[in-house]
Amino acid sequence: MNEIAHRSDMERPGFRGSNAASTGRAGMNMVEFKAVTKRFGKTVVLDKVDLTIRTGEVVVLIGPSGSGKSTLIRCINALEQIDGGDLVVDDISVLAGSAKVREIRQEAGMVFQQFNLFPQLTALQNVAFGPRQVRGTPKHQAEQQAEALLAKVGLAARAQHYPSELSGGQQQRVAIARALAVKPKLMLFDEPTSALDPELRQEVLRVMQTLAEEGMTMIVVTHEMGFARKVGTRMIFMEHGKIAVDGPPAELLDNPPNERFREFLKHV
């Protein structure tokens, strides 16, 4: 499962898309958690989390279930509302009101575990949907962009298919294209391969790797340690709503800094 090697077909000319622009501000703060607390009822899911993510980073979030990793990324685009502290995304606070939250969501594309493609729309329409709805892009132009994005994720031939006619891996690649269509500066991946058969995971991971190589800022909740090592620039291990370990993936995987982390790695 570690074979996410550099593949020549990913390197073909023109493959590096417009998102390379996001590398222009390398090193600036993209996401800032400031003592963020999130509760579900009485359960504290995020416990005064402080975290800064800079442009160009590929952060891999790992941890046992219930440790708060999904909640952490869902707070970034305000699908979950924080209960304490502040959370700033590209200089906009998630607490700044619904219009500002929509701006954040346009900056931060999201890919879900269950794909969540719009079932009544074809692959092409799914990808063209976001720009038409939130950027006011004319239909013709939105569909041209959508075609290019589908080609980028290797699905040009499936443009006219409905989600129900696509495999899980294909659906997830369409979902990635859909998120990219709004031209985000940051991509959030919430267990993007967990609902997929092992042989379908690689096609999704490969697309994600290419995105990372283009300089996209990414936060990925995953159990794919091969991907983490190869593509991640930073690994965060969460436990009980706190960041327990934070460091370079290869280093952490080769020399687990504590017993709990070592124990966790045995089980993934």
Where does this chain bind other proteins (CB under 8 A)? 77, 79, 98, 102-106, 109-110, 112, 114, 116-120, 129-130, 133-134, 162, 175, 178-179, 182
In the bound complex, what is the minimum distance in angstroms from residue 248's beta carbon to other proteins? 29
Sequence letter at residue 122 = T
Give the whole-angstrom CA distance, residue 226 versus residue 264.
Answer: 15
Q: Smaller CB distance to other proteins: residue 77 or 222?
A: 77
Residue type at 255 in one-letter notation: N
- Exposed/middle/buried for 254, CB within 10 Å: 0-12, 13-18, 19+? exposed
Residues 115 and 213: their CA atoms lie apart, in Å, by 23
Q: At its nearest, how many Å lie between other proteins and the CB of residue 133?
A: 5
Closest to other proteins by CB, 75 vs 243, is: 75
Least distance between other proteins and beta carbon 50 (Å): 25
Pair 108, 59: CB distance under 8 Å: no
Would you say 8 or 98 has its CB closer to other proteins?
98
How far apart are CB 230 and other proteins at their closest, in Å? Answer: 27
- Looking at the Cβ atoms of 106 and 222, the one nearer to other proteins is 106
Cβ at position 73, least distance to other proteins in Å: 11
Run of H or E including 168: helix 168-181
Q: Which CB atom, from 63 or from 130, has the smaller least distance to other proteins?
A: 130
Residue with tokens 């995987």: 253
* Nearest distance in Å: CB 237, other proteins: 25
Beta carbon of residue 174, minimum distance to other proteins (angstroms, whole number): 12
Angle between helices 123-130 and 139-152 (to 10 degrees): 120
- Going along the chain, which residue ranges are E strands? 29-40, 43-54, 58-62, 84-89, 92-93, 108-111, 186-190, 217-221, 234-239, 242-247
> Of 46 and 101, which has the nearer Cβ to other proteins?
101
Nearer to other proteins, 196 or 235 (CB): 196
DSSP string, 96-147: S-HHHHHHHHHHEEEE-TT----TTS-HHHHHHHHIIIII---HHHHHHHHH
State the minimum distance, in angstroms, from the CB of residue 46 to other proteins: 18
- Token digits of residue 32: 């800032």
CB closer to other proteins, 38 vs 234: 38
Q: How many CA atoms lie within 13 A of 105 on its CB side?
A: 18
